Amino acid sequence: MEKRAIITLVVGLASAAPHAPAAELPGRIAAIEHHTAACFAPGTPVNCEVSAVVESNEKLLLANDKRLPAPGGPALFTLDIEQGKISGEPTVLPGKALREADKYEALTKTLDGRYMIASTAFNKASTDEDPSSDILNTLLYWPVDDPEAAKPLSPTSRSGVTSSISLRKQIKDAIGASYYQIEAITMAPSEPVKAKTADGQLIIGIRRHGNDKTDAHFGFTLISAHVKFKDGTLALVEAFKSVQNFNVQAQGHTVGLSGIEYDRFNKDRLYAVTSYEEKSVDAANKPITNIGGFLWIVPFAAGKPGTPQLVTREDGSTLRFSNKPEGVEVLDAHQIIVVHDDDRVEVQTSEAGIERGANEFAYSKIRFP
């Protein structure tokens, strides 16, 4: 019998906002299916590494961790979806701004569904002398039917590239660390005191943060800022602030946040996925990598997230993925989809996950009661 998960939640920032009260949410799923879908044709010399997902008009927009093998194409593409099943041929999104940004890690849409929002990793700073990493520090938005109109939030132009590099300092101040890695974003309703002056709040999820890349720890860290649209331009109405900073363990694994999304149907929760990647050696002293992850429900009330709650299977055992979850999207009031990036690790098909080809990504269709 599977052991129940052990979850350690440690608040790491004294300035974190008070958490919303725990809500009665469906902690158990009703069913889960694992499938695969193709990023591009077999034999292409690029590995499919899907990092984020968002739905719009019966299509999924997905981000690939690396640029796609399309001439001049960005790492964003769409696939058809019907009743939680992905189909069709991938269509790469056009647009100069989308092509310039690199290492997309998070996708969401505005609460009214009119705009898409994408974030890169922000995991490398750049300088006036060497602004080449500006492309890794971009948060873009565009009308759902016009990706060529994409533009950065809080734009700064250097060396012919316009990015959101100006956001780095306030994100750093909100987190309290000079190095950080963005892996998740979602739009969510405003706190009541901001409801009249904002069009919602942009919540950003941080997977790792610390002094530098070699001295960073995994966590479940959220920051947020209220935003406002005016004449088609998105702007912050306040600086980013800390919302949560947890260290999370599940089944003995220290995990990092890899995706989050507000449930616009039930309006009382966020869904989040966390993942781990652990290196070791086998009996023959050969290096091996163990991957996996978990699904969480986060209560959401009065514009504030509460304490993450681990999701279980119908029998009460922990819902664990053997694939590596990277993004989550809410399809309706009872169904979500989780996309995975296995980082070239071979996963065997089982009740916990599914084997995939180099040109494919794995995804899990999950139904709640």
Q: What pLDDT score does 12 carry?
A: 39
Using pLDDT thresholds of 50, 70 and 90, give the confidence band for residue 47: confident
Bigger pLDDT: 121 or 127? 121
Q: What pLDDT score does 73 carry?
A: 60
The CA distance from 46 to 68, in Å, is 7
Task: Encode pLDDT of 332-341 as tens digits.
Answer: 999 999 999 9
Q: What pLDDT score does 69 carry?
A: 67
Task: Encode pLDDT of 86-109 as tens digits.
Answer: 999 899 999 999 999 999 999 999
Which residue is it, tokens 């009065």?
Answer: 302
The CA distance from 103 to 64, in Å, is 8
Using pLDDT thresholds of 50, 70 and 90, give the confidence band for residue 10: very low
pLDDT score of 294 more than 90: yes
pLDDT score of 7 more than 80: no
Q: What pLDDT score does 284 carry?
A: 79
First to last CA, the chain: 24
Average pLDDT for 295-318: 96
Using pLDDT thresholds of 50, 70 and 90, give the confidence band for residue 16: very low
Using pLDDT thresholds of 50, 70 and 90, give the confidence band for residue 257: very high
Q: What pLDDT score does 344 carry?
A: 87
Q: What pLDDT score does 287 carry?
A: 85
Three-state SS string over 295-334 comes to EEEEEEECCEECCCEECECCCCCECEECCCEEEEEECCCC
Residue type for position 89: E
Q: What pLDDT score does 8 carry?
A: 54
Using pLDDT thresholds of 50, 70 and 90, give the confidence band for residue 14: very low
pLDDT score of 44 more than 80: no
Q: What pLDDT score does 3 carry?
A: 43
Task: Encode pLDDT of 146-175 as tens digits.
Answer: 999 999 999 999 988 899 999 999 999 999
Using pLDDT thresholds of 50, 70 and 90, give the confidence band for residue 261: very high
Average pLDDT for 176-193: 97
Three-state SS string over the chain comes to CCCCCCCCCEECCCCCCCCCCCCCCCCECCEEEEEEEECCCCCCCCCCCEEEEEEECCEEEEEECCCCCCCCCCCEEEEEEECCEEEEEEEECCCHHHHHCCCEEEEEECCCCCEEEEEECCCCCCCCCCHHHHHHCCEEEEECCCHHHCEECCCEEECCEEECHHHHHHHHHHHCCCEEEEEEEEEECCCHHHCCCCCCEEEEEEEEEEEECCEEEEEEEEEEEEEEEECCEEEECCCCEEEEEEEEEECCEEEEEEEEEECCCCCCEEEEEEEEEEEEECCCCCEEEEEEEEEEEEEEECCEECCCEECECCCCCECEECCCEEEEEECCCCEEEEEECCCCCCCCCECCECCCCCCEEEEEEEECC
Q: What pLDDT score does 18 carry?
A: 45
The CA distance from 263 to 184, in Å, is 15
Give all domains of the chain, ordered by start, each with its CATH number.
Answer: 10-367 (2.115.10)
pLDDT score of 6 more than 60: no
- State pTM to two decimals: 0.93
Question: With contact defined as beta carbons under 8 Å apart, do 201 and 191 qualify?
Answer: yes
- The tally of CA atoms less than 13 A away on the side-chain side of residue 343 is 15
User: Which tokens go with 235?
Assistant: 């702007």
Q: What pLDDT score does 307 carry?
A: 95
Average pLDDT for 35-50: 86
Query: Of 187, 92, 192, 87, whose CA–CA distance to 141 is shortest?
Result: 187
Pairing state of beta strands 287-301 and 309-310?
antiparallel
Tell me what the pLDDT averaged over the chain comes to.
Answer: 90
Average pLDDT for 239-255: 94
Bigger pLDDT: 72 or 195? 195
pLDDT score of 222 more than 80: yes
Task: Encode pLDDT of 76-88 as tens digits.
Answer: 999 999 989 999 9
pLDDT score of 1 more than 80: no
pLDDT score of 74 more than 80: no
Please state, as a whole number, how many other Cβ atoms lie within 10 Å of the Cβ of residue 155: 17
